[in-house]
Amino acid sequence: MEMSKKPVYKLTLSAIFVALATALSLIKVYELPLGGSVTLFSMVPVVMISIMLGLKWGIGSAFVYSLIQLIFGIALEGMLGWGLTAASLVGSILFDYIIAFTVLGFAGAFAKKGYAGICAGVVLVVVLRFISHFISGGIFIASFSPWDNVWFYSLCYNGSYMLPELIITTAAAMILFRLPQVKKLMAQ
């Protein structure tokens, strides 16, 4: 059995990539006042797990990453002090953390289609993450909207950091998955 097929190898690689994603999530290009930020390639390691090791490992790793981001949201961003109702807090936890970051694990869904499938998978999961934040903003965080149209506010607010994240993550994936070293790692 090849080394890369062993569960210990996959677990170790996943742990390293989740740790890298977590460290990168702390490097913020800019941060919004109610959560959300443009980071330095923080989603790339998580989507790489899914593309390299498959959906099972990708979704599992992305779920672990979502829990870490939730802890950061509570500890670093003060989410519990936002004055949300219990229902809004639960909704925000689900849509802004658990769902939003776990969907990144689906990036490998089209990996067997080659380079185009990899790029499509990355774009898809970042768009799904945006949709999750958009829903949360329109339903659970609506009380913070200074505009009458909470859905338009959610679109603008969440789009202001998710569009740059989409561009950064997709560009990084496009470059990384063209590198011979990454191709060799994926072939193992």
1 band by pLDDT with thresholds 50, 70 and 90: very low
Domain annotation for the chain: domains and CATH numbers: 39-187 (1.10.1760.20)
Q: Write out pLDDT tens, residues 10-64.
A: 999 999 999 999 999 999 999 988 788 999 999 999 999 999 999 999 999 999 9
Instruction: Give dist(CA 8, CA 173) in Å, integer.
Output: 25
Is it the case that residue 179 has pLDDT exceeding 50?
A: yes
CB atoms within 10 A of CB 174: 13
Average pLDDT over residues 143-151: 83
Q: Write out pLDDT tens, residues 72-85.
A: 988 877 777 777 78
Instruction: Give dist(CA 67, CA 91) in Å, integer.
Output: 15
CB 22 within 8 A of CB 62: no
What is the chain's mean pLDDT, rounded?
A: 91
pTM comes to 0.91
